[in-house]
Amino acid sequence: MGKFSFLTGCLAAALGLTIALGLVILFATSHMRNGRSDHEEKDLLTLEDFEDYIMNNVDPQSIRQILRNLTTLPHLGGTAEEWQMSTLISDTWRQQGMDEVHMVPYEVLLSYPSKEVPNLVRLVDQFGGAAWTSAAKQKPLYSPEESNPDVPFTFNGYAAPGNVTGDVVYVNYGRSQDFETLSEKGINLEGKIVIARYGRIFRANIAQMAEGLGAVGLVLFSDPSDFAPEGPEFVYPRSSFLPPTAAPFGTVKLVDGDPLTPFYPATKSAFHIPMADAPIPTIPVQPIGYEDAWQILSRLGGPPAPGEWQGGLNITYNLGPGFSRPGWKLNLDVNNNNTHTTTYNVIGVIKGRVEPDRYVLLGNHIDAWIFGGLDPNSGTAAMLELSRVLTNLVKEKGWRPRRSLVFCAWGAEEYGLVGSLEWTEQFGKQLADRAVAYLNVDMAIEGNYTLRTKSAPLLYQVIYESARRIPNPDPEEAKAGRLTVYDTWALRKPDPVKANSPLMQFIGSGSDYKGFQHNLGIPCMDTRYTHSDHTLGEPQYHTLYETFALVDEIYDRGFHFHKAVTALWGHITLRLSEPKILPFSLDAYATFLSRASDNILEKYGDLISSQNITMDYFTAAVQKFNSTTVAFNNSIEKLDLDNPLAVRHVNDQLMMVERAFIDARGLPGRPDYNHVVTAPSKNDAYSGTAFAGLSDTLCSLQEAPDDLRPNLWVTFSQHLAAVTHVLETASRVLTDDLW
Amino acid sequence: MGKFSFLTGCLAAALGLTIALGLVILFATSHMRNGRSDHEEKDLLTLEDFEDYIMNNVDPQSIRQILRNLTTLPHLGGTAEEWQMSTLISDTWRQQGMDEVHMVPYEVLLSYPSKEVPNLVRLVDQFGGAAWTSAAKQKPLYSPEESNPDVPFTFNGYAAPGNVTGDVVYVNYGRSQDFETLSEKGINLEGKIVIARYGRIFRANIAQMAEGLGAVGLVLFSDPSDFAPEGPEFVYPRSSFLPPTAAPFGTVKLVDGDPLTPFYPATKSAFHIPMADAPIPTIPVQPIGYEDAWQILSRLGGPPAPGEWQGGLNITYNLGPGFSRPGWKLNLDVNNNNTHTTTYNVIGVIKGRVEPDRYVLLGNHIDAWIFGGLDPNSGTAAMLELSRVLTNLVKEKGWRPRRSLVFCAWGAEEYGLVGSLEWTEQFGKQLADRAVAYLNVDMAIEGNYTLRTKSAPLLYQVIYESARRIPNPDPEEAKAGRLTVYDTWALRKPDPVKANSPLMQFIGSGSDYKGFQHNLGIPCMDTRYTHSDHTLGEPQYHTLYETFALVDEIYDRGFHFHKAVTALWGHITLRLSEPKILPFSLDAYATFLSRASDNILEKYGDLISSQNITMDYFTAAVQKFNSTTVAFNNSIEKLDLDNPLAVRHVNDQLMMVERAFIDARGLPGRPDYNHVVTAPSKNDAYSGTAFAGLSDTLCSLQEAPDDLRPNLWVTFSQHLAAVTHVLETASRVLTDDLW
C-alpha cells in the first residue's frame, strides 16, 4: 500500500535553513530583581540560595544508585516491566513527599517481536538454501544482564510482519537525495529489499521513502565509519564505540502518539481508526549489526557506489541490485506483532505557593528498548534525584515553588512519543492555559564532551544563565580555565553566527516535548551532555550495550556529568518557577524569526518573486514582532511588581507568545504539526528548519515537475498567509489591542 | 454545481431535541457578596448603585434620537453608507470618552443587485411574451425615506446572477420534509424553478436543498397566513403586519464570514480561495412580495398541495410542476454582482480597573438591508445609549469597571456575520484567553410582547437576575402585577419543563455571536423584546418597511421597551464585569447537558444499542460534570476573596468551561463549527439542538439507505468519542487534575 507519499529530496535545503542561534541577552538584568522570592514568602531565600541548595545536595552516588535500579531489566513500552519501572518511579515520588502522584493509563497499539520466532535476514543461494542467517539477538559482550533471557529478539517497532525475498539495493543513508541518486542511475527499487546505513535521518523517514518507491523490505545497519572510527577492536566494552554485533532498535512509525487514535487521547472511550489506516509501514524493516551487514554488502553486485557512499567495512560497497553470485537473493523474515496494550504515565506535583495554576513541567520517558542505560534512564535518574532534592527543600526549609512543578514520566516514548502525546491530547486545554514551559531531559548524558541543547527561543536566556552557574564536571576543562558548563559548551559547540556564545539548536522533534511545543505552543527545551563529532550519534544508542556499565565505567565515572545535568535542570526549573515576571527571551525569538525570514528570502527570494508573490506582509510581520518585543520589554520596566494581577497580565501575555504560533489547521498536509515556526522539516523529523511549511514547499517546488507546480504555489501562498497571520498574532498578544 | 449536498429531513427531529431550559438558581446567593466592587475601589458603590444609575440615566428620548440618526438612509454592508454609519458610531464613542476607539477593516466578498438592471420574475406566455413582471423594488407606502432613490433593487445576498426559464414547483417552506413529500409524490425538481414560502428555516438552507435537488432557480415569498393574519387591509403602516408588496432581503450564503477566506481573517495579506470554491449558491434566488407570489401560485397547475401547505392567499395552492395554461413558464432574471469591498468593524473600549485583560464584550452589527429600523438599529441605538450612560458614569463618578468593557459594532452581518467572524478569526487567540462573555443585542425590539433570550447556559443566572431588576415597560402588564420584565417573560414564554420560569432558548446561530460561541467557546447571549406568536417572525424583517416610523409609531411609542432592553443589557454587563467571582451558572450547564443527554437516549437509545455502541462513557461524563460542578461550587465557598491570584485561578477555571466544549477539529463534516454542545443543527442554522453532531448523524441514520449506514455509524462513533472527551475535559478544567 502506498500510504506514504513520495518525498522530494529537500534534506540538504532543510539543513541549509537550519537555524543555529545564539542571542543577545538584554532581558536578564531587568529581571534579576524578580529572581527573589516574593513578599508572600516568610524566609526570604534568594534564587542563589536555592541554586546553592541544589548544587550542595545533588548527590552523584544517589544518581548512580537510581540508575542502577532503573537498568536491571529490559522494559519496553507497554510491558509488565515498563509498569514495574512506572511503579518504582511513582513509589519514589510518593516517598519523597510530592503533593500528588498519579498513574495515567492509555490503551494503545504497540509492537513487539515474537517471543518464539526471531526476525531473521537470510542469504538464499541459487538452490533456495540459506547460505547465511543473521543474528536473532545481539550477542552478550560484557555486562551480566546482557544475557538476560528476556532481552527481546532484534526488531524495529511497528515494522510490518512479512517474509519477503528479493534483490538488494544499497541506498546509502536512505535520504531523499540518496534515492534520487539511484533514480538518476536508473536503479529501480520496485520489488527490491533495500539496505541503508542508519544515522543521518530518522529511520521512519527511510522506511517511508523506501515503501513509497516500491521496495518490499528494508534492512538497517550502523556503519563502522560512523560509529566505530577506531576499528573493530576498540569498541564496547573497551570504549564507547559500536561493536559489530550491535543492532539498534527503534520505531519506524512516522506520526507520533498512538497510531489508532489520532488527535484524541487513547482513553477507554476513544474511537479507533481501522488498522489499515494506521500510519505505520506496510513493509518489513529490520536492524542488523555491521558484521551481519558485511555478509550482505560484501556480496552485492552492480556498479560500485559513489565515493561518499563507501563506508567503514573493508569492502567496496556496490549498489546492486542483487548479488554478484547468480541466483542469490536476500530473504527478510519479520515476525513482529502489533498489540493492543496499556502504557502508563506517572505524574507527580509539587504544588505552587503563589500561582499553583501555573505549571513548570519536567519530564522524561520510562520505557527503554532494552536496558536504557543512557536512553532514557540517565535522564530519569537525574529527574528522580532532582525531585528528591526539591522535595527535601520543601520538607527542610518549608519552601514551596511560586508556581507548581509537574514531574512527568512518560510511557512508550520509544514507539513514537506515545504516552506524552496522548497526555497532551487529553490535557491540552488545561496545559495551553496554564503551562509555562516543558523541560525535557531524555538522555541526561550520551557522552561527556559538551552540553547540547535544543530549545524554543523563549527559553534561551534562562538556559544560558543556568549553564553559567554550573561548575564544569570535566576536570581537564576546569583546569583549562573553563569553570562552568557554559564555557565548554561555548568552546565545543559554538554558535556560528554569534561569537563566544554556545549554539542553541532548533527544537525540532525526537522526544516527548513534541506535543507541548508543536501542538500546544508551550516553550520546550531538551538538554543533555553529548559526545564529540567523532561519531554520528552516541554509538550504543538503542542497542543491547546501553548498559549501566557503559555509564558507570566508560562515560561518567563518579557521575559528575549526571550531577551537572541534574543541577542545570534544577536551575532552569527554578528560574522559571520563581521569578514574578517570566524570564522569557522575547528578543531571542525576534532574532530567531529575523534570521529565519532572511534565510528564506536569501535562498528562495528569486523563486518567489518570479511568481509575483509578495513577501512584504511576511517580512513586515517579522519586523513588527521585533519592534513589539522592544516596546513590551520597555513597558515591563514600569510595571508595579506589587500588583499581582498586573504581574499576571504581563505573564499571561508572555505565555501567549508561543501559543500564538500555533495554527489549529496545521502545516500543509501535516495536521499533526501546528507550530508554524518550529515544526521540523517533513522530510526528516530530526532536523531543524524554521518555517518548515514554507521551506518544505519551496524546496519541493524547486524539484517538482511542471504539472505539480501550480498546486504547490497555491499551497505556498495559502500557508504564507497563515504564517503571516500567526506572526501578527504573536505581536498582538503582547498588547491589549483588538484592532 | 452540486457543491451543496442533499440533506435529509431531520428538522422535526431537530426541533424535537430542542432544549427548552430553565434552571435552578443555586449559585446566586453565594455570589451576591461578590456583587460589591472590591477593595481597590475608593468609593464603595454597590452593584445596586450602578444598576440604579443605569435605570435613572437611560433616556428613551436619547435612544429615539439615535435611532432616527441611524435609519436615515439605506446602508448595506460594505457600502459608503455603511462606512458613514461606522463613522457615526466611532465618532459617538470618541465623544463619549471611551479609552480606545478603532476601525477594523476587512476586505471581503459581498453581493449587490445591479444599480441599473433590476432582478425580475416574469410569467412567460406560450408565445414567449412577458404576461406579467414582478416589482423591481418594494413600493413606498408611508415614510418619506421609503422613496429614497438609493433603495436597492430587491435581491437576496449572494444569489447567483442568471436568467433561467422553467416550470414552477411549490415546495411549501422548503424544509427537508417538504422536499421529501414532493419526492414521495413523484415530483422531480430537476430543471425546475422552485417557489417557497419563507419563515420556517434559514433561507440559505432552502437554497442549498433546492440546488442539491437540481432546481435551477428559487423564488421566496412570505405568506400572508404567516405574516398578515388580519388580512391585507390591516398591514403596515396601519399595523405591524406585512403588506403585499414586501419582499424580505437576506443572504443565501450558508457558511459564515467572508466566503473567500475561510478560517483566516480577510486582511490585506489573506489568501483567497477561487470563487468557484466559495460556499455560495450557483442558482439564482429572488424574494418577491405576496401580491407577486399570487401571480405565480394562482396560475400553478398540478395536484393541489396538501392541506398544511395551503396558505393565506385566496386561492388553492397547487404543487405544479408548471402552470395550468399550456406553454406558460416562469422566467427568473437575477443580475447581482459579487464584489470585493471593504467593511469596517468599530471597536470601543472602557478599560477595566482591576482586570483590564478580562473582557466583557457587547456588540451589534452596523449594516442593514435597507433602513434597518429594527434590524439592527434598535439594538445599535440601545448600545450607543448604554455606552453613553456608562462613559458618563466614568466621567461623573470616577468609576471604572473591574473588567474591561469592549463595545463592538460589526460590518456586513447581514451577509452572513462577515465582520464579526473575520474579527474572531483575527483575534481568536486573545479572545479565547481573555473574554468573559459576548453579549449580543441585534434587534433590541422586534415587538413589544415579551423578552426572548438565547443564551449559553453559563449566563442563565445573570440574565434571570438582571431581568428581575428591570421594571416592566408594558403598563398593562405592570397593572396586572407583573412588575418586571422577568414576570411577563415567565408568563408569555414559559419554560415547558420548569414551572414559573421563563424559557431560555438555545443559542444556535443567526447573529454575530457565532464566532464567539461556536468557534472560540466564549459564552454568549442574544436578547430582545419580541412579538407574539400571531406571526411567524417579525413581519417587516428585512423589508423596506422596517423604518423609524414602524418603531416610533407602532412598536415602541415612547421608547420604553428600548429603555428596558438597554437597561437589561447594562445590568447583565455589570453583573459580569464587577463581581470578583464570575457568576457563571455551572449548575444550569449541568442541567442542560443532562437534559440533552436524556433526550438523545430517549429518542435514539434503541437505535444506538442495536449497533452495540455503548453510551455509558458519554452518560458517565455528563454525570461527572454534574458532580464536579457541585464540588466546585462548594470549594468556592471557602475561597479567600482577598487573595487576588486565588480569585483569578477560580475565574480562569470558570472561563475554561465553555472553552472546554470546543473541538478544534469541528463537528462531523462541519469544520466551521467547533462547539460540540451548542452548535446548531446542520439542517437549519436557526434551530437549536444540543449535541448537533450526534443528533444530526442519528437523524440521518434513521433515514439513510442501507449502503450509507455503515459510514454514518463510523461518523457517529467517532464523534461520540470526541464529545465524551470534551465533556471529560469540561469537568477536569474545574480541577487542577492532570490525571
Å from B660 to nearest chain A CA?
Answer: 7
Task: Please report the pLDDT score of residue B548 as a whole number.
Answer: 98
- Residues B86-110: tens digit of each pLDDT: 999 999 999 999 999 999 999 999 9
Over residues A649-681, the pLDDT tens digits come to: 999 999 999 999 999 999 999 999 999 999 998
Which residue in B261, B648, B711, B736 has the most chain A C-beta atoms within 10 A of its own C-beta, making it the best mutation to test that interface? B736
Contacts of A129 (CB under 8 A, 6+ apart): none
Residue B597's pLDDT is 96
CA distance B42 to chain A (A): 17
Max distance between CA atoms of chain B, in angstroms, equals 85
User: A132-185 pLDDT, tens per residue?
Assistant: 999 999 999 999 999 999 999 999 999 999 999 999 999 999 999 999 999 999
Q: Would the CB atoms of A356 and B736 count as touching at under 8 Å? A: yes
- Binning pLDDT at 50, 70 and 90, where does residue B16 land? very low
Is the pLDDT at B42 greater than 80? The verdict is: no
| Confidence label for A508 from pLDDT (cuts 50, 70 and 90) | confident
Q: Do the chains contact at B644 and A645, CB–CB below 8 Å?
A: yes
d(CA A229, CA A246): 15
Pick among A93, A403, A694, A738 to test the B interface (most B CBs inside 10 A): A738
Q: Which residue of A has its CA nearest to B648?
A: A645
Cα distances (angstroms) measured from residue B631 to each of A431, B31, B122: 22, 16, 66
pLDDT of residue A18: 33
Whether the per-residue pLDDT at A28 is higher than 50: the answer is: no
State the Cα–Cα distance between residues A701 and A723, nearest whole angstrom.
18
| Three-state DSSP state, A142 | coil
Mean pLDDT, rounded, for B667-682:
94
Chain B residue whose CA is closest to A429? B660
Residues A110, A108: Cα–Cα separation, whole Å: 6
B20 pLDDT more than 70: no
What Rg, from alpha-carbon coordinates, does chain A have? 25
Closest residue, chain B, to A674 (C-alpha): B664
Whether residue A327 has pLDDT greater than 70: yes
Residues in B closer than 8 angstroms to A737, CB to CB, are 102
Contact between chains at B652 and A357 (C-beta distance less than 8 A): yes
Among the listed ranges B32-46, B178-192, B584-598, which one has the minimum average pLDDT value?
B32-46
CA-nearest of A85, A77, A145 to A377 is: A85
Residue A642 identity? D
Question: Which tens digits make up the pLDDT trace of A271-321?
Answer: 999 999 999 999 999 999 999 999 999 999 999 999 999 999 999 999 999
CB contacts of B653 in chain A (<8 Å) are 357
Phi then psi dihedrals of residue A571, to 5 deg: -60, -45
Distance to chain A for B718, nearest Cα, Å? 5
A104: chain B residues, CB-CB within 8 Å: 738-739
Nearest CA in chain A to B403: A645
Per-residue pLDDT band for A519 (boundaries 50, 70, 90) equals very high
Residue A725: predicted pLDDT: 98
List, for residues A71-119, the tens digit of each pLDDT value.
999 999 999 999 999 999 999 999 999 999 999 999 999 999 999 999 9
Which of A104, A357, A659 lies at the smallest CB-CB distance from B649?
A357
Quick check: A17 pLDDT over 50?
no
Phi, psi torsion values for B217, nearest 5 degrees: -165, 160
pLDDT for the residue numbered B254: 87
What pLDDT is attached to residue B684? 52
Q: Which residue has the cell 454597590?
A: B46
Query: What is the greatest pairwise CA distance in chain A?
Result: 85
pLDDT, mean over chain A? 93
pLDDT at A80: 98
Instruction: Return mean pLDDT, chain B.
Output: 93
- What integer is the mean pLDDT of A377-405? 96
Q: How far is A115 from chain B (nearest CA, A)?
A: 33
What percent of chain B is predicted at pLDDT more than 90? 90
The answer to whether the CB of A59 falls within 8 A of the CB of A564 is no
Tell me how far apart the alpha carbons of residues B421 and B512 are, in angstroms, rounded to a whole number: 7
- To the nearest 10 degrees (0 to 180), the angle between helices A586-609 and A692-703 is 20
pLDDT over threshold 70, residue A24:
no
CB contact under 8 A, A102 and B733: no
- A490-503: string of b/e by CB count within 10 Å (b at 16+)? bebbbbeebeebbb
Tell me the chain A residues in contact with residue B724 when contact means C-beta distances shorter than 8 Å.
269
Neighbour count for residue B490 (Cβ, 10 Å): 24
Q: What pLDDT shows up at residue B688?
A: 55
Distance from CA of A429 to the nearest CA of B (A): 7
pLDDT average, residue stretch B703-716: 95
How far apart, in Å, are the Cα atoms of A197 and each of A136, A172, A182, A242, B395? 19, 6, 15, 14, 75
Q: Residue A424 is which amino acid?
A: T
How many Å lie between the alpha carbon of B6 and the closest alpha carbon of chain A? 27
Reported as a single tens digit per residue, the pLDDT across A587-620 is 999 999 999 999 999 999 999 999 999 999 999 9
CB contact under 8 A, A347 and B738: yes
What is the DSSP secondary-structure string of B478-504? HHTT--BHHHHHHHHSB-SSSTT-BPB
Share of chain B above pLDDT 70, in %: 93
Residue B132 has pLDDT above 90, yes or no: yes
Alpha helices in B220-360 (DSSP H): 224-227, 290-297
Residue range B364-391: average pLDDT? Answer: 98
Q: What is the pTM of this model?
A: 0.93
Residues of chain A contacting residue B728, judged by C-beta atoms under 8 Å apart: 267
Helix (H), strand (E) at residue A364: strand A355-365
pLDDT at B57 over 90: yes
DSSP E strands, A71-141: 100-112, 120-124, 130-133
Rounded CA gap, A163 and A157, in Å? 16
Mean pLDDT over A442-458 rounds to: 97
Contact between A738 and B652 using a beta-carbon 8 Å cutoff: no
Per DSSP, A698 falls in state H
| Residue tagged 470526541 (cell numbers) | B722
Chain B positions touching A349 (Cβ under 8 A) are 738
pLDDT at A44: 59
Mean pLDDT calculated for residue range B116-122 = 98
pLDDT band per the 50, 70, 90 thresholds, residue A499: confident
**A284 upstream amide cis, omega within 30 of 0:** no
Q: DSSP letter at A236?
A: T
Which chain A positions have a beta carbon within 8 Å of B664's beta carbon? 664
Strand stretches in B634-701, DSSP E: none
Contacts of residue A271 in chain B, CB cutoff 8 Å?
Answer: 717-718, 720-722
The strand pair at A355-365 and A435-440 is best described as: parallel
The cell numbers describing B316, all together, are 388553492
Kindly list the distances between the CA atom of residue A274 and the CA atoms of A113, A155, A164, A277, in Å, as whole numbers in the listed order. Answer: 22, 24, 25, 6
pLDDT in tens, A110-130: 999 999 999 999 999 999 999
Over residues B409-428, the pLDDT tens digits come to 999 999 999 999 999 999 99
Q: Name all domains of chain B by residue range, CATH numbers in brackets.
A: 11-16+583-732 (1.20.930.40), 47-111+340-577 (3.40.630.10), 114-335 (3.50.30.30)
Per-residue pLDDT at A11 exceeds 60: no
User: What is the mean pLDDT of the segment spanning A323-343?
Assistant: 97
Residue type at B114 in one-letter notation = S
Helix (H, G, I), strand (E, B) or coil at A222: coil
pLDDT for residue A482? 98
Contact (CB<8Å) B660/A270: no
For residue A373, give the nearest of A224, A149, A555 by alpha carbon.
Answer: A555
Tell me whether residues A269 and B617 touch, CB distance under 8 A.
Answer: yes
Cα-based distances in Å from A125 to A317, A323, A333? 20, 10, 16
Task: Inspect the interface and report whether the beta carbons of A644 and B645 lie closer than 8 Å.
Answer: yes
The per-residue pLDDT for range A238-277, each reduced to its tens digit, is 999 999 999 999 999 989 999 999 999 999 999 999 999 9
Considering only CB atoms, which chain B residues are within 8 Å of A738?
A: 102, 104, 347, 349, 359, 406, 423, 427, 430-431
CA A368 to chain centre: 15
Closest listed residue to residue B207, CA positions, set B259, B277, B258, B254: B254
Rounded distance, CA A553 to CA B677, Å? 60
Strands (E), A421-462: 435-440, 450-455
- Output the nine-digit C-alpha cell for A14: 532543510
Pairing relationship of beta strands A337-350 and A100-112 according to DSSP bridges: antiparallel
Q: What is the pLDDT of residue A261?
A: 98
Q: Which residues of A touch B659 (CB under 8 A)?
A: 429, 433
* Helix residue ranges, H only, A197-302: 203-212, 224-227, 290-297
Q: Which residues on chain B are in Cβ contact (under 8 Å) with A350?
A: none
Question: How many beta-carbon contacts under 8 Å exist across A and B?
Answer: 135
Q: Which residue of A has its CA nearest to B358?
A: A649
Q: Cβ A739–B347 below 8 Å, yes or no?
A: yes
Q: What is the mean pLDDT of residues B487-512?
A: 93
